[in-house]
Structure 1
Amino acid sequence: MSPEAPEIPLRVAAASAALDAVEGPLSGYHHETYVFPLLAEAGTGFQGRWKCREPRANLLWFDRRCFESEERLLYDLQWRIDVVPEVARVGGVDLQRFIEGSTLGELHPSGEAVPGALFEQILGLFGQLGTVTASTLLVERRCEPQDRAEEGDSAGFLERLICFTEERVYEENLIAYEGLFADLGLDADAFRQLRKRVAVLRDRPFSLLHADLHRENFIVDPNGKLWAIDWELAMFGDPLYDLATHLYLMRYPQAQERLMIQRWCGIVEEIRPDSSQGWCDDLPRLFEFKKAQSVFTDVIREPQSLDVQGKLDRQRLRRAGWKLRGC
C-alpha cells in the first residue's frame, strides 16, 4: 500500500512503524483489518505484526452478538484458552497480534479431511470452551439480563436466535427483498415451523461458544499450532449449538464428522456432565436452524454482491444463483 493511501485510518497510521508497511484492508465481512509492525517506542516488548480492526460502515449484522468488545473478551480469555491471539493496548487502541501463517481453508479446503494433529487441537479448543461459564467470565455483555435464556434452557437459547433472525434479518429487510423472498418460497411460516422443531430441545449446561468456528477462522502458524480468530460472535449458550455450527461450516467428510461428534461428546461430558445430553435428536434440529439462517442471510447478501461499481456482474450472478440453490 502506498504511503499516501488515504484509506489508512489515522490510529493505524499513528501506531505503525511506516505507512508503506501497512497491509490492508484485508478482506472480511464485518471489519476492515490492517496489519502492521508497531513503532519502536509504541511497541516496546511487542514483537511481530499486529492488527487493528475497523468496523465496516452501514453493515447488516445477521448474527446476534453477546459481548460489547471482542478485545475485552480476549483479554479475559488469555490465560484460559491457549489458541486466542494476544491482545495489547497501545496508544489507547486495542490491538490483536497478527498470527502469521495460513488459514485451515487454504491448507485443507472445505470437504477435505483435517489432519490428525490439527483435528486434535480443534477438539482441545472445544474442551477449553466448556470450562468457561458466565459465572466465571465477568465481561460486559450487550444483551440485558432479561433477554438471556435461563442457564441450561437450550430451547430458550435457540428461540432468541430465531427471534433475531426473524426480526433483524427477515422483517427489517422485507420491504427491499419481499419479491425475492416470495419467489423463493420464504415467508414468516418458516419461523413458526422452526419454533415447533426446537421447542423440544433437551436442556444442557451453558458454556462459552465461539459460534463461528470454520476453516477461515482457524490459522495454522509455521510451527503447526492452530489459532482461533474472529471471536466477535462469541456468546454463552448451548454447547451443542457450537458443535452444530462448526460441523455445518466445516463440511468434514462423513467419517471425520462422525468422529468429531463422538470425540466431542466424550470431551464435554468429562468437563461438564450432560453437555451432550440428547445430541442424537437435537443435532439435526440445530442443523435445520443453521440451514434456515443461511437461506435468509444469503438471500440478502448475495444480491448485494452483484453490484460492482454500478454494473451487474453476471459471473457473480451465476455463482449467487448456485449458492442459493444449494441452501
Structure 2
Amino acid sequence: MDNVWERSIPFYNLSIKEITAIFTEYDKNFEILNYTPIYVGCRNSNYKIHTNKGYFLLRVCPLKDISYKKERFISELFYGYINVPKLLFVSENNITQRICLIYEYVNGNSMQEMLIQKGKLEDRIIVEVAESASYIHNCNILNKDEFHDDYPPFLTWYDLFLEKEIVTERIGKEIKERVKTLIADKKRDLYEIDKYISFIHSDFHPANMIIDKNNRIWIVDWEFSGFGHSLGDIGQFFRYENSFNQRQIEMFEKAYNSSSNRVLPSNWYGLSKLRDLVNPLQMLGAKENLPQKYIDLKNIVLNILVFFGY
C-alpha cells in the first residue's frame, strides 16, 4: 500500500514560533501547548496542534501550490452533508511564505491503518463509503472556475504515459506490451468509461478516509478534486482488491445505486480497474527517484493485468 511510498515533496518542519504566528493570525487568544508532526502523505506537511482551545489540524502546502482554493470550496460545499473537516482559516501571508490551512481536528485513524492492522473492513464502512461516493458524484457544481473539466478522450491517455522512456524502464518492456494488448482488446470499454463523467474526489482511497471514535467516515485531502470519471474514484478505493470480498463489492454497488442519480453499469468493477490502471502509469513517469513507490506501482499494474487474465 501507499503507506510505504516515499514523499515526493520533503516534509516542512515548523517551529513553535511559526505555528504561534499562524494561529494568532486566526485568533489572537490562541496559546500553543504542544504540536505533533503527522508524516502520513507525500506532498503536504500536516501537524496536530494542541491549543488552549482544543486540538486542530494545521496543513502547510507546498510552495506556489494553489490547491487550497479547492479545499476552501469543498469545505463550504460539502460541510454538513458528508463528513469533511471544516476549514477554519487560510493563512496566505505568513512567515513561512507558504499557504497554511487550519482545520478542525478529527480524532480518529485512517482507513488505511485499519486495513493494515485487520486486513479487511467492516461491511458498514463499505456502505458508508459507497453512499459518500454517490453524494460526491451527484453534486452539481455550478462554479467550475477552480476545477479543470476539459480532458481528451480516455482512450488516448494510456499511450501518453506508456510511451515515456522512464515508464518503460520502470515496468519493463514485457509488462508494457501486456498493458498495450489489454488496452487494445478493451477499446470499447474505454469509450464506456468516458460516459461516466461527474465531480470526483480524484484521490479516493483509504488513506484519505478517517474513521473517528464514533465510527463515522470523514473524507479528507480534496486537493485533486474536479471533474472526471466517477469510475476513477471507485477504482482507487478498490485498488488493493485483496482487502475486499465479493459480497462487499456487491454491497458497494447496491448502496451506491440506491442513492445515485445514475446507477453503475453492470460491468462497473472491471471498468473501474481499467480506469485505475492509468494512475500508476502516470505516477511511474515522475522525475523523482522513489524506488519503493515505483515497486508498489509496478505491482498495481501487474495485479490489474492478472485480474483481466493478461
Mapped to 1, the partners of 2:287 and 2:176 lie a distance apart of 15
Check conservation: 1:81, 1:129, Cα contact below 8 A: no
Aligned to 2:272: 286
Is 2:78 the partner of 1:87? no
Aligned to 1:53: 60
CA distance 1:56–1:112, change in 2 (3 Å): farther
Q: Give the match's secondary structure for 1:248.
A: coil
CA distance 1:321–1:193, change in 2 (3 Å): closer
Aligned residues: CA RMSD: 4.2
Matches of residues 62-211 of structure 1 in structure 2 within 5 Å? 69-79=69-79, 81-89=81-89, 91-92=91-92, 93-109=100-116, 112-135=119-142, 138=143, 140-143=145-148, 147-148=150-151, 156=153, 158-159=154-155, 163=157, 166-167=159-160, 169-170=161-162, 174-176=164-166, 178-186=168-176, 189=180, 193=184, 196-201=187-192, 206-211=197-202
181-190 or 204-213, which deviates more:
181-190
Q: Give unpaired runs (5+ residues) of structure 2.
A: 1-11, 24-29, 93-99, 305-310
Mapped to 2, the partners of 1:178 and 1:234 lie a distance apart of 29
Q: Percent identity?
A: 13
Deviation string 1:15-55 (CA, Å, 9 cap, x unpaired) is: 356777222152211222222135x6xxxxx6422221322
| Per-residue deviation, 1:194 | 7.8
CA distance 1:123–1:192, change in 2 (3 Å): closer
Is 2:13 the partner of 1:7? yes
Is 2:291 the partner of 1:305? yes
Aligned to 1:37: 50
CA distance 1:191–1:12, change in 2 (3 Å): farther
Check conservation: 2:162, 2:176, Cα contact below 8 A: no
- Amino acid in the other structure paired with 2:84: V
The normalised TM-score by structure 2 is 0.69
Check conservation: 2:202, 2:226, Cα contact below 8 A: yes
- Amino acid in the other structure paired with 2:236: T
The normalised TM-score by structure 1 is 0.66
Mapped to 1, the partners of 2:291 and 2:73 lie a distance apart of 31
Q: Give the match's secondary structure for 1:186.
A: helix
